[in-house]
Amino acid sequence: MSVMDTMYGKDIYAPISAERIRADLEALAKFNSTPGEGVTRLPFTKEAREACEFLKERFKAAGLETYEDAIGNIIGILPGRDRNLPAIAMGSHYDTVYNGGMFDGQAGVVSALEIVRCLREQGIELERDLRIIAFNDEEGVRFHRSYLGSYGILGRDQQKDIDTYRDRDGISIREAMESWGMDADRIGEAAWDWDRICAFIELHIEQGPVLCSEGLKVGIVQSVVGFRRYMITVHGREDHSGTTPMELRKDAVDTAARVIAWMGDFARSRSDGTVATAGYLKVSPSVENIVPGSCEFSAEVRSENTESLELFTKGLKEAINAAAELCGTSFDMVEKMDISPVKLSPRLCDMLEESCLKRGLSHKRMHSGAGHDAQEIAVACETVMVFCPSRDGRSHCREEWTDFEDIACAASAAYDVILKL
Ligand code: GLV
Ligand code: MN
Ligand code: MN
């Protein structure tokens, strides 16, 4: 038994090993294009390939029937007693944002693997198959579009997006797949038969301040936020910044700034938890004494309230039209994502709660403001998420941290639910 487990009181999350979770997460964190500056593992890169090979090796070592599917998800199957029964699935994603942490997504992948190891060690044969999955491209930061891997197993038609969505260097999803030796025309083969799946569980770090500030161990997620994301390109004209009078210039940043200010004001005015972000901004040319000729920016809104999402879309169009008219610019606006808010399975929430009560794990039912593969899977089968605390609520940054013992606590609750199912 490690010092860490002894200090914490290992019994509370037995038979899960926080040490093994730590070892897997630290090993995964090495597949990183920005060492020393957070973890960056974008889809279809060298680091993602290394992570896939590592996961396949670990899945096989845990005795799983392991394969990589047609869209770059890594899947491991633990056969159950009756292979005709619909399977339980559990997992999360292996990609990261730019300069992110070693927990987002990865904690859920590694926990699913740890649960398999525990089942085998305990000599427990499940009644039904357990499929564990490490999703490709959940974050969507490379191609400005999330959920490639989960849409793949859902069998969603992504053929058009594969050619139209491109990264910052102009590489399309298709081209990125080809660089991995994959055939983008075959992504349909990744689809699962959803009559063969009875439940999906995703363990994830909270990525917000609730559990940490309230000193709680486990979050039982009842609902996940909806969001819409647009990419707007404002077309202005490059001119001398000193000699061009205000009424004659076409300033792309002046235009964008008005819209971005409107976004924040809109979200604050809703008072229903709605948030709006312009996280991506590209100005050209980005030079002090040149009127900006073009400005590309993302406009994202998230809310539990569908009405707020709709009002944002309507207001955004009005704001950009008004700003462009005032500044003498023109613009293109492309919708990148439209994801509805979802409710997760009350039955699975109850089962998680029962486990927390039995184990003495402090917990609460909560909402997720982050997007997750689970919210898309929820339309296909009974789904739940279990959260672990994020230190100071920080995530999508290099300060992201969750204690390994806290991951073990959430994993132990998921373990109990799997046994019950
Ligand atoms: C993913 O973490 C997202 O919420 O965008
Ligand atoms: Mn995530
Ligand atoms: Mn994330």
Type of residue numbered 25: L
Task: Name the residue at shortest CA distance from atom 5 of ligand 1.
Answer: 371
Give the span between the Cα atoms of 251 and 154, in whole angstroms. Answer: 43
- Number of the ligand closest to the Cα of 91: 2
Give the span between the Cα atoms of 180 and 97, in whole angstroms. Answer: 20
Establish whether the linkage from the previous residue to 341 is cis, with ω within 30° of 0. Answer: no
Give the ligand 1 atom nearest the CA of 139. Answer: 1
409 lines ligand 1 (CB under 6 A): no
| Ligand 2 centroid from CA 323, angstroms | 34
- Number of the ligand closest to the Cα of 39: 3
Is residue 372 classed exposed, middle or buried when 0-12, 13-18 and 19+ CB atoms within 10 A define those classes? buried
Number of residues written out for the chain: 421
Establish whether the linkage from the previous residue to 15 is cis, with ω within 30° of 0. Answer: yes
208 lines ligand 1 (CB under 6 A): no
| Ligand 1 centroid from CA 137, angstroms | 11
Check: CB of residue 371 under 8 Å from CB of residue 337: no
Residue 394's pLDDT is 97
Give the span between the Cα atoms of 35 and 317, in whole angstroms. Answer: 40
Is residue 157 classed exposed, middle or buried when 0-12, 13-18 and 19+ CB atoms within 10 A define those classes? exposed
Q: Partners of 197 in the beta sheet?
A: 87
- pLDDT, averaged per 10 consecutive residues of the chain (421 residues), comes to 50 96 98 98 98 98 98 98 98 98 98 98 97 98 95 97 95 98 97 98 98 98 97 98 98 98 98 97 97 98 97 98 98 96 97 97 97 96 98 97 98 98 96
Check: CB of residue 252 under 8 Å from CB of residue 293: yes
Strands, E assignment, 197-325:
197-205, 218-224, 226-235, 275-277, 281-284, 294-303
Task: Name the residue at shortest CA distance from atom 3 of ligand 1.
Answer: 371
Buried b / exposed e along 49-62 (16+ C-beta atoms within 10 A):
bebbebbbebbeeb
Read off φ and ψ for residue 370, nearest 5 degrees. -90, 155
263 lines ligand 1 (CB under 6 A): no
pTM of the predicted model, to two decimals?
0.92
Q: Where are the alpha helices (DSSP H) in 287-365?
A: 306-327, 346-359
- DSSP run (H or E) holding 334: strand 330-339
Q: Partners of 383 in the beta sheet?
A: 200
219 lines ligand 1 (CB under 6 A): no
Check: CB of residue 66 under 8 Å from CB of residue 75: yes
Give the ligand 1 atom nearest the CA of 105. Answer: 2
Greatest CA separation for the chain: 79
371 lines ligand 1 (CB under 6 A): yes
- The DSSP code for 250 is -
196 Cβ partners below 8 Å, 6+ apart? 86, 87
Give the ligand 1 atom nearest the CA of 225. Answer: 4
DSSP line for 45-62: SHHHHHHHHHHHHHHHHT
370 lines ligand 1 (CB under 6 A): yes
Query: In this structure, how many other beta carbons lie within 10 angstroms of the beta carbon of residue 383?
Result: 26
205 lines ligand 1 (CB under 6 A): no
Place of tokens 């073009």: 294
3-state helix, strand, coil in the chain (%, to 5): 40, 25, 35
341 lines ligand 1 (CB under 6 A): no
- Number of the ligand closest to the Cα of 275: 1
Check: CB of residue 3 under 8 Å from CB of residue 65: no
Give the span between the Cα atoms of 282 and 405, in whole angstroms. Answer: 41
| Ligand 1 centroid from CA 140, angstroms | 8
Residue 8's pLDDT is 52
| Ligand 2 centroid from CA 93, angstroms | 7
Query: Residues lining ligand 2 (ion), CB within 5 A?
Result: 104-105
139 lines ligand 1 (CB under 6 A): yes
Give the span between the Cα atoms of 409 and 44, in whole angstroms. Answer: 32
| Ligand 1 centroid from CA 242, angstroms | 41
In order of 156, 219, 254, the CA distances from 326 in angstroms are 41, 47, 9
Place of tokens 């010092």: 3
Residue 5's pLDDT is 45
Helix (H, G, I), strand (E, B) or coil at 276: strand
| Ligand 3 centroid from CA 383, angstroms | 19
| Ligand 3 centroid from CA 80, angstroms | 32
